[in-house]
């Protein structure tokens, strides 16, 4: 598949600002046309290599940062995406934050208080494995706060992400879209694999009863908060190789679009060579 065809397919995953996300109308088992699994995995490897190069430029340039938000139901592949897509990156420049149930200290502040401290500084990249969006998803589905509270949070989130973007943070948000059948298959594999049985919890199964409610919550959240500077992508996640390819390529393309450059040299290179390099070569 040509790069232009790849780009067009990836753009079909975008939730256009102001448009309805229409999650129910998107196939979680979708795959790029005219791109075989082997070709997609080759393209994924190329994208990961690009990420290695681009992360170096991100740090060297020092004027921008990247925030990647991963959301999805249990077993959608958030951990797997991090493990595979970020495998070629230097861990010194990448942080991962997982926002679980707020601690008493966190709950005593506004819902974005704990999130702001985890955003990346210039030259850095941060990954949110679940994020501030839990406060318009779980809280809505389980009625943890009144509707008047969680509805106001859409505007708060948009303002927060606008603030980050104005400070040089590029934002990419991925909803890993998995089908109920595929989720159950992955749960069953965990049951059969002793090395992964520790991940099993009763809530994995009880939460499935809220599948429709979560679908409605995600659809509204994505529709209300996909913006030009902080877009949402609905990633087909039933096939892990499709998921990895799409996320890796979109992140690499975003970093390319920033126009990162190495900074100008601030020393006299000829003087450095003359005073130090040649001296060290001449020394015994």
In this predicted structure, what is the pLDDT of residue 280? 56
CA angle 87, 47, 166 (to 5 degrees): 90
Q: Report pLDDT digits (tens) over 165-185.
A: 999 999 999 999 999 999 999
Contact (CB, 8 A) for 97 and 118:
yes
Closest CA to 47 of 8, 1, 87: 87
Model confidence pLDDT, tens digit, residues 75-124: 999 999 999 999 989 999 999 999 988 999 999 999 999 999 999 999 99
Per cent of the chain over pLDDT 90 is 87
What pLDDT was estimated at residue 6? 83
Which structure tokens are listed for 251?
């992140």
Q: How far, rounded to the nearest angstrom, does the alpha carbon of residue 41 sit from its chain's CA centroid?
A: 19
Handedness of CA 180, 186, 190, 196 (dihedral sign): negative
Contact present, 170 and 254 (Cβ < 8 Å) = yes
Predicted local distance difference test score (pLDDT) of residue 281: 53
Q: What domains does the chain contain, in order, with CATH numbers?
A: 3-282 (3.40.50.300)
Is residue 284 scored above 60 in pLDDT?
no
pLDDT digits (tens, 9 = 90+) for 209-245: 999 999 999 999 999 999 999 999 999 999 999 999 9
pLDDT for 119: 97
Instruction: Convert the pLDDT of each residue in 6-46 to its tens digit.
Output: 889 999 999 999 999 999 999 999 999 888 999 999 999 99
CA 225/CA 101 separation, integer angstroms? 22
């Amino acid at each position: 598949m040509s790069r232009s065809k790849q780009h067009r397919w990836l753009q079909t995953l975008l939730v256009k600002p102001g448009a309805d996300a229409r999650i129910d109308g998107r196939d979680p088992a979708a795959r790029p046309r005219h791109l075989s699994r082997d070709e997609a995995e080759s393209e994924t490897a190329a994208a990961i290599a690009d990420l290695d190069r681009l992360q170096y430029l991100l740090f060297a340039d020092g004027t921008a940062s990247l925030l990647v938000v991963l959301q999805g139901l249990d077993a959608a592949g958030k951990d797997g995406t991090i493990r595979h897509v970020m495998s070629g990156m230097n861990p010194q420049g990448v942080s991962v934050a997982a926002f679980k149930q707020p601690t008493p200290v966190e709950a005593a502040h506004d819902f974005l208080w704990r999130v702001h401290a985890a955003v990346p500084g210039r030259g850095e990249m941060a990954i949110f494995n679940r994020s501030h969006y839990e406060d318009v998803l779980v809280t809505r589905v389980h009625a943890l706060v009144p509707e008047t509270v969680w509805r106001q949070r859409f505007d708060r989130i948009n303002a927060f992400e606008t603030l980050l973007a104005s400070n040089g943070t590029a934002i990419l948000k991925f909803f890993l879209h998995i089908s109920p059948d595929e989720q159950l298959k992955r749960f069953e594999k965990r049951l059969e694999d002793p090395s992964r049985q520790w991940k099993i919890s009763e809530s994995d199964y009880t939460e499935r009863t809220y599948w429709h409610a979560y679908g409605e919550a995600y659809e509204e959240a994505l529709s209300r908060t996909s913006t030009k500077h902080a877009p949402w992508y609905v990633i087909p996640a039933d096939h892990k190789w499709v998921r990895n390819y799409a996320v890796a390529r979109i992140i690499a393309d975003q970093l390319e679009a920033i126009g990162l450059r190495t900074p100008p040299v601030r020393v006299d290179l000829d003087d450095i060579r003359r005073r130090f390099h040649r001296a060290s070569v001449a020394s015994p």
